[in-house]
């Protein structure tokens, strides 16, 4: 059964609130904007890029890249560079095809970024196709499920005050959730105080995590790391610039709180120095940036170093979420998976049958492939 057609579909969905809270009133809603103290560009929309890969027998696989800005770039890479390499090939050669796609621009230095995001979308679609062709869920093709449900943490708590964040967290504890991550990076004292307010309100049994968005220098990160240790935090995510492996290694050696890293990396090659230098205790690759194939390989490599996995799950929609759940079910060294309620609701609006997250866990989709089906008519209506 050969691949006959590859189509990339960029999508933009209007939003009012997401991971970091309400949009700034001064933001130009037709453009990208900055949200200090963070340095990355953000969009006034949920932006993503889907890929539809079809075979000669009419079987369709869906993939999705994590493309929070400029999804048209992913579209162009898929349709101009990757599609010609996939058409005429068997989807069952998924591992071979990952290497074929990666090698297309490898000698030109495209080891990450948009190129790997595009490869990841195609990789997810190929796994979806394989599962549908063989009548098995992806986790089964990866060797089986280590767990019946995938434990998760509520990510973000997008409220401007400590009291507001506590109140929001308590609405989730009433629903059976007991792990939370704060978006931080507002200064050592402010971040420690934010985590402390949650600890005081939610008690010692709640898992608390902190995402610093790479804003700290090493000395500041050490100070905050000690404070988080005292507060019993589960991990300290993205504390220092992502290129600085050595400083992360020094930080990991200096503090007891686990250091988490990985949403910026795409391949096992990029994660290898983090393991070799003991610079991270928990790895966080994103399936929408690394694909099913690479995240699974990264997890197996991390297991050899006794390092756990907490896959990043940002603003990717239904296909990204389903693919991540499938991988999370199939790896032995899972810590927790990310859950963003506002994103989850929008993701489900594009699916024929919704994904389920309740009582602190994702339900695993048990259908063939990724176990979900996109509402293609609605998707086309939102096409950018």
Judge whether 155 and 165 are in contact, CB under 8 Å: no
- Same fold for the domain at 3-139 and the one at 144-366? no
Give 232-274 as a DSSP string: T-SEEES-S-TT-HHHHHHHHHH-SSPEEE-TT--SHHHHHHH
For 340-359, what is the mean pLDDT? 94
Taking the C-alpha atoms of residue 251 and residue 212, their distance in angstroms, rounded to an integer, is 14
- How many Å separate Cα 337 from the centre of its chain? 9
Q: How confident is the model at residue 31 (pLDDT cuts 50, 70, 90)?
A: confident
pLDDT at residue 190 is higher than 90: yes
SS3 9: strand
For 9-26, what is the mean pLDDT? 75
Q: How confident is the model at residue 17 (pLDDT cuts 50, 70, 90)?
A: low
Q: Identify the pLDDT of residue 301.
A: 98
| Tens-digit pLDDT profile for residues 203-249 | 999 999 999 999 999 999 999 999 999 999 999 999 999 999 999 99
User: Among 15-29, 117-131, 283-297, where is mean pLDDT lowest?
Assistant: 15-29
Instruction: State how beta strands 357-358 and 337-339 pair.
Output: unpaired
Q: How confident is the model at residue 28 (pLDDT cuts 50, 70, 90)?
A: low
Q: How confident is the model at residue 34 (pLDDT cuts 50, 70, 90)?
A: confident
| Tens-digit pLDDT profile for residues 143-170 | 999 999 999 999 989 898 999 999 999 9
Q: Identify the pLDDT of residue 29.
A: 59
Q: How confident is the model at residue 274 (pLDDT cuts 50, 70, 90)?
A: very high
Per domain, the residue ranges of the chain are 3-139, 144-366
Q: Identify the pLDDT of residue 27.
A: 58
pLDDT at residue 378 is higher than 80: yes
Judge whether 185 and 368 are in contact, CB under 8 Å: no
- Domain 3-139 top-level CATH class: alpha beta
Q: How confident is the model at residue 185 (pLDDT cuts 50, 70, 90)?
A: confident
Average pLDDT, the chain: 94
Instruction: State how beta strands 60-65 and 45-55 pair.
Output: antiparallel
Half-sphere exposure at residue 327, Cβ-oriented, CA atoms within 13 angstroms = 33
Distances (CA, A) of 347 to 34, 232, 313, 321, 350: 24, 33, 12, 8, 6
Q: Identify the pLDDT of residue 148.
A: 96
Beta bridge partners of 65: 49
SS3 311: coil
Q: Identify the pLDDT of residue 46.
A: 87
pTM: 0.96
The pLDDT > 70 percentage for the chain reads 96
Alpha helices in the chain (DSSP H): 71-77, 83-86, 94-106, 113-134, 138-141, 162-173, 188-202, 218-230, 245-254, 268-276, 287-303, 318-330, 341-349, 376-381
Q: Identify the pLDDT of residue 73.
A: 97
pLDDT at residue 18 is higher than 70: no
What sign results for the dihedral spanned by CA atoms 96, 99, 100, 101?
positive
Q: How confident is the model at residue 25 (pLDDT cuts 50, 70, 90)?
A: low
CATH number of 144-366: 3.20.20.120
Q: Identify the pLDDT of residue 215.
A: 95
Distances (CA, A) of 320 to 15, 264, 348: 18, 16, 12
312 is catalytic: yes
Kindly state the DSSP code that residue 149 receives in the 8-state scheme. E
Return the structure tokens found at 246: 């050595």
| Tens-digit pLDDT profile for residues 89-107 | 999 999 999 999 999 999 9
For 111-130, what is the mean pLDDT? 97
pLDDT at residue 21 is higher than 80: no
Judge whether 145 and 173 are in contact, CB under 8 Å: no
Give the residue from 333, 340, 331 showing the smallest Cα distance to 362. 340
């Amino acid at each position: 059964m050969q691949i006959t057609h590859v189509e990339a579909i960029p999508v933009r969905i209007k939003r009012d609130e997401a991971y970091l809270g309400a949009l700034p009133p001064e933001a130009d809603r037709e453009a990208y904007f900055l949200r200090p103290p963070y340095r990355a560009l953000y969009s006034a929309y949920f932006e993503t890029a889907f890929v539809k890969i079809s075979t000669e027998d009419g079987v369709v696989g869906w993939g999705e890249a994590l493309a929070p800005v400029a999804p048209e770039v992913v579209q162009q890479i898929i349709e101009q560079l990757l599609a010609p390499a996939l058409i005429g090939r068997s989807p069952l050669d998924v591992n071979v095809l990952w290497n074929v796609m990666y090698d297309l621009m490898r000698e030109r230095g495209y080891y990450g970024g948009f190129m790997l995001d595009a490869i990841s979308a195609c990789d997810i679609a190929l796994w979806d196709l394989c599962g549908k062709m063989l009548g098995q869920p992806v986790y089964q093709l990866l060797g089986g499920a280590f767990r019946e449900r995938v434990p998760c943490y509520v990510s973000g708590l997008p409220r401007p005050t400590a009291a507001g964040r506590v109140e929001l967290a308590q609405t989730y504890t009433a629903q059976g959730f007991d792990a939370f991550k704060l978006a931080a990076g507002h200064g050592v004292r402010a971040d420690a105080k934010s985590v402390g307010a949650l600890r005081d309100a939610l008690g010692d049994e709640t898992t608390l995590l902190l995402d610093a968005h790479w804003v700290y220098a090493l000395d500041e990160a050490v100070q905050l790391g000690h404070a988080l240790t005292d507060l019993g935090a589960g991990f300290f995510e993205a504390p220092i610039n992502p290129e600085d492996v050595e400083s992360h290694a020094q930080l990991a050696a200096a503090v007891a709180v686990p250091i988490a890293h990985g949403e910026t990396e795409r391949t096992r090659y990029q994660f290898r120095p983090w393991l070799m230098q003991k610079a991270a205790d928990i790895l966080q690759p994103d399936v929408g940036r690394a694909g099913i194939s690479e995240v699974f390989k990264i997890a197996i490599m991390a297991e050899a170093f006794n390092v756990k996995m907490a896959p990043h799950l940002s603003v990717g929609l239904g296909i990204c979420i389903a693919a991540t759940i499938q991988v999370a079910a199939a790896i032995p060294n899972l810590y927790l998976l990310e859950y963003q309620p506002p994103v989850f609701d929008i993701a489900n609006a594009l699916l024929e049958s919704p994904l389920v997250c309740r009582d602190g866990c994702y339900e695993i989709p048990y259908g063939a492939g990724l176990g979900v089906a996109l509402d293609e008519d609605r998707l086309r209506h939102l096409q950018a």
